[in-house]
Chain A
Amino acid sequence: MEIYVLVKQVPDPEAIVKVKSDTELEIENKYFTSFFDEIAVEAGLKLKEKFGGKVTVLTVDNRRVDALRRGISMGAEEAVQVTDPAIEGSDPFSIARALAAYLKDKPFDLILAGRQAMDDDAGIVGPAVAEALGIPHVNSIVGIEVDDPKKEVKVTREVENGKEILSVSLPALFTCQKGLNTPRIPQVMNVMKAMKAQIKKVDLAALGLSSSDVGSSSARVKVQTYLPPPKRPPVKMIKEDFPENVKRLVKLLREEAKII
């Protein structure tokens, strides 16, 4: 099976994120592979181990992308980075356009992605790539069974109070949900291989796209304002002794906090 996995590098949960301006965030340089994308890589690797073939990890990003090396360290054969100065400011639809442009001539059987990225939680890129390629897609799968000769797949989704089993013909795109598998911990031999791996880089011209197809100029969704979470209000110490302190606390809860 020819399997492509769409991966995204997102800020580490421990990274310090500050609002720099209305439309710009300052993110500490700590990144990791989006959790759901690792589940997608694992799913691809399991299918490759069963049916043979190849897993390629693919991303659109101008930064150094450890998520691609992570994919190789887990067992993917190839890594491709679509990179071009013009992609800065892209919205999820532009990212999907670039990914689809890369994939459209490739002989893929299956495309996998995380159900959403752990930074913007948008969940758009996967389905948008499928739409652009004109292939079926199912979101948030927790089970997958492939009938390789028939090129058919049964996927399981969790729905209200139960599960839903869908059959889909290949090629198709699925986004992966927690519960599908537990991503493997890379063996150090593969980590070494990933450290030295050549990442194939592709620019927009090679995809037949121009700067008007991606980036902020083509973005249909634009960030208006980033707002930091409200700061914790100062602590108010009640200095009176019992029972005055209780009376005062009740008064404050009722009149200031307005929670009783």
Chain B
Amino acid sequence: MALDFTLGEEQDFFRQTVRDTVNRLIMPRVVELDEKEEFPWDLWKEFAALGYLGLRHEEKYGGMATDTISQMIFYEELARGSCGFAMSVIMQILMGTYFVARFGNEEIKQRILVPAIKGEKIGTICFTEDQSGSDLGGTRTLAAKVDGGWRINGRKQWITNGPIAEFCTVMATVDPKLGLKGLNFYLVERKTDKRDGFVSGQKLHKLGSRCSVTGELVFDNVFVPDENFLGEEVGKGVQYAGEILNEVRVMTAMNALAISKGAMDDAKEYAKNRIAFGNPISKYQLIREKFAKYWAWYEASWNYAYKCAWMIQNKIPCSNECMMAKYHATEMCMYAVEEAMRIYGGNAFCSEYPPQRYWRDAKFLLYGGGTHEVLCDYLGRMFCKD
């Protein structure tokens, strides 16, 4: 009797509301967002004014403190509109502000978190470097203890929102030889005339998710005071990162579900209207097989991803499950966008038709939250463990 797969009246209503918001604000601009490759400040301000940036945070800082399942519903519906814009918004809601909210003192929360929830200050998190990403133990950005604070030196790459960020949570090591045990998080603000901080490096031109600006951040002997150390103990950074990794992976699964659904819904309409040999191509068995495989795979992914969201919400340990949810949904999405390209035939190769956009957007999901090679290596090891 305990097994119940219904989302419930309240969550259905929440999904419907978010869907309507996305339909009105994002859907008419999908092509423009992809083609311009610029951060959509007007859209950002609208979503901030509607209060969505505070979805995850405490009410006393202007947030809504919603449950995990509602957050996942929001991520899924937002990515249905624009995967790129979703990347920027989710970075602000989840990774970009989590450690500030978790470890920042009251002054930091008022100065950073409150304006972040209002959308006035954009934040990000910095893990990746030229030789480390999924391999966090290879982090080389150095944090040296000095009187009253820390000095940080290094370069971070592939930073979502990086070129426009006002603050970042940066992972740095106290000693590269310590590997994972040397890692910590530090709050660093953008350099100004009055303040030491990071500067932007190169902005990347990406294959997909193009309206989310991504780039390099440079930390050149940046001083941050002791209160900007985000943690309770030195060397616990990886443990702290683990607190949100499950959410990050299920969130990535939500993006995959959304992109695949968009690609296949469009492909279905195309197949019903494209006539070949006297019939709509949706009547041919080889085309139908693509939809059948996708549908079965999608339903399994959707249910498993929401089961993981439910486990996170109920504080049930689910690290392996969340890895599998991310892996399963993303591989399903790769199948969907590839097959959508085939259903459109030669038209898929033309930018006037949508499957190429879904295909380009989807590829990003292979890397965030751990590459599938790294995840599979780990999961295989766990499966074979005695």
The reply on B20 being an interface residue by CB < 8 A is yes
Q: Mark B11-37, 1 if CB is under 8 A from A, else 0.
A: 011101100110011000000000000
Residues of A32-75 whose CB lies within 8 A of B? 32, 64, 66, 69-70, 73
**Looking at the complex, which one of A70, A187, A196, A234 makes contact with B50 (CB distance below 8 Å)?**
A187
In A194-233, the 8 Å CB interface with B consists of 194-196
Report A-chain residues with C-beta under 8 Å of the C-beta of B55: 188
Q: B132 on the interface (CB 8 Å rule)?
A: no
User: Is there contact, CB below 8 Å, between B279 and A235?
Assistant: yes
Q: A64-B9, A235-B279 are in contact. Are A195 and B14 (CB under 8 A)?
A: yes
On whether A185 and B24 interact (CB within 8 A), knowing A192-B64, A235-B275, A237-B278, the answer reads yes
A188 touches which one: B10, B16, B20, B64 (CB < 8 A)?
B64
Chain A 1-50 interface residues, beta-carbon cutoff 8 Å to B: 32
B14 and A191 within 8 A (CB): yes
B62 (CB) vs chain A CBs: closest residue: A189
- Given the complex, which residues of A lie within 8 Å of B320, measured CB to CB? none
Q: Is B66 among interface residues, defined by CB-CB distance under 8 A?
A: yes
Q: How many residues of A contact B (CB 8 A)?
A: 19
A188, B13: Cβ atoms closer than 8 Å? no
Q: A32-B20, A235-B275 are in contact. Are A194 and B50 (CB under 8 A)?
A: no
- Enumerate chain A residues within 8 angstroms of B275, measured Cβ to Cβ: 235
Q: Name the residue of chain A whose CB is nearest to the CB of B21.
A: A185
A32 to B16, CA, bound (A): 8
Contacts of A235 in B (CB 8 A): 275, 278-279
Q: Which residue of A lies closest to B279 (CB)?
A: A235
Residues of B within 8 A of A (CB-CB), count:
23
- A136 sits at the interface (CB 8 A): no
Q: Is B137 an interface residue (CB 8 A)?
A: no
Taken together as a complex, chains A and B put the C-alpha atoms of A185 and B45 apart, in Å, by 13
Q: Determine if B66 and A66 form an interchain contact, defined as CB atoms under 8 angstroms apart.
A: no
Check A188/B278 contact, CB under 8 A, given A66-B12, A69-B13, A73-B17.
Answer: no
A85 contacts chain B at the CB level, 8 A cutoff: no
Say how far B98's CB is from chain A's closest CB, in angstroms.
19
- Interface residue? B52 (CB, 8 A): yes
Q: Chain B contacts of A192 at CB under 8 A?
A: 64, 66
Residues 295-347 of B at the A interface (beta carbon under 8 Å): none
Which one of A191, A196, A237 contacts B17 once the chains associate, using CB atoms below 8 Å?
Answer: A191
Contacts of A234 in B (CB 8 A): 278
Q: A32-B16, A64-B9, A195-B10 are in contact. Are A185 and B64 (CB under 8 A)?
A: no
Contacts of B9 in A (CB 8 A): 64
- Does B51 reach chain A (CB closer than 8 Å)? yes
State whether B51 touches A187 (Cβ < 8 A): yes
Chain A residue with minimal CB distance to B54?
Answer: A188
Kindly list chain B residues whose C-beta atoms are within 8 Å of the C-beta of A73: 17
**Contacting residues, chain B, for A187 (C-beta < 8 A):** 49-51
Question: Once bound together, how far apart are the Cα atoms of A185 and B21, in whole Å?
Answer: 6
- Contact residues in A for B66 (Cβ distance below 8 Å): 192
Q: How far is the CB of A11 from chain B (nearest CB, A)?
A: 13
B46 CB contacts on chain A under 8 angstroms: 185
Proximity bits, B42-84, A CB within 8 Å = 1, else 0: 0000100111101100000000101000000000000000000
CA distance A185 to B43 in the complex (A): 13
Tell me, rounded to whole Å, the shortest Cβ–Cβ distance linking A163 to chain B: 27
Asked if A186 lies at the interface with its beta carbon under 8 angstroms from chain B, I say yes
- Measured CA separation A254–B121 after assembly (Å): 68
Distance in angstroms between the alpha carbons of A192 and B10 in the assembled complex: 9
Question: Across the interface, which residues of A come within 8 angstroms of B24, CB to CB?
Answer: 185
What residue in chain A is nearest B9 (Cβ atoms)? A64
A189 contacts across to B, CB distance below 8 A: 51, 64
> Which single member of B10, B17, B278 contacts A186 (CB below 8 Å)?
B17
Query: Which residue from A66, A185, A237 sits with its C-beta under 8 Å from B13?
Result: A66
Contact at B13–A195, with CB atoms within 8 Å?
yes
- Measured between alpha carbons, how far is A41 from B375 in the docked complex, in Å? 50
Q: Which residues of B contact A32 (CB under 8 A)?
A: 16, 20
Which chain B residues border A188 with CB–CB below 8 Å? 50-52, 54-55, 64
> Which residues of the partner chain B approach A237 to less than 8 Å between Cβ atoms?
278
Can you name the residue of chain B whose Cβ is closest to the Cβ of A190?
B51
Shortest Cβ gap from B369 to chain A (Å): 25
B291 to chain A, nearest CB (A): 16
Cα distance A184–B24 in the bound complex, in angstroms: 11
- Alpha-carbon separation in the docked complex, A73 to B14 (Å): 10
| Complex contact A185–B25 (CB within 8 A) | yes
| A contact residues around B54 at 8 Å (CB) | 188
B66's nearest neighbour on chain A, judged by CB, is: A192
List of B residues within 8 angstroms of A70 by Cβ? 13, 17
Measured CB to CB, the residues of B under 8 A from A are 9-10, 12-14, 16-17, 20-21, 24-25, 46, 49-52, 54-55, 64, 66, 275, 278-279
Contacts A32-B20, A73-B17, A185-B24 aside, 7 further interface pairs with beta carbons under 8 A come to A66-B16, A185-B46, A187-B49, A188-B51, A195-B10, A235-B275, A235-B279
A→B interface (CB under 8 Å): 32, 64, 66, 69-70, 73, 185-189, 191-192, 194-196, 234-235, 237
What are 5 A-B residue pairs whose CB atoms fall within 8 Å in the complex?
Answer: A32-B20, A66-B16, A70-B13, A188-B55, A191-B13
**Pairs A-B, 7 closest by C-beta atoms:** A188-B51, A195-B10, A187-B51, A191-B17, A69-B13, A66-B13, A189-B51
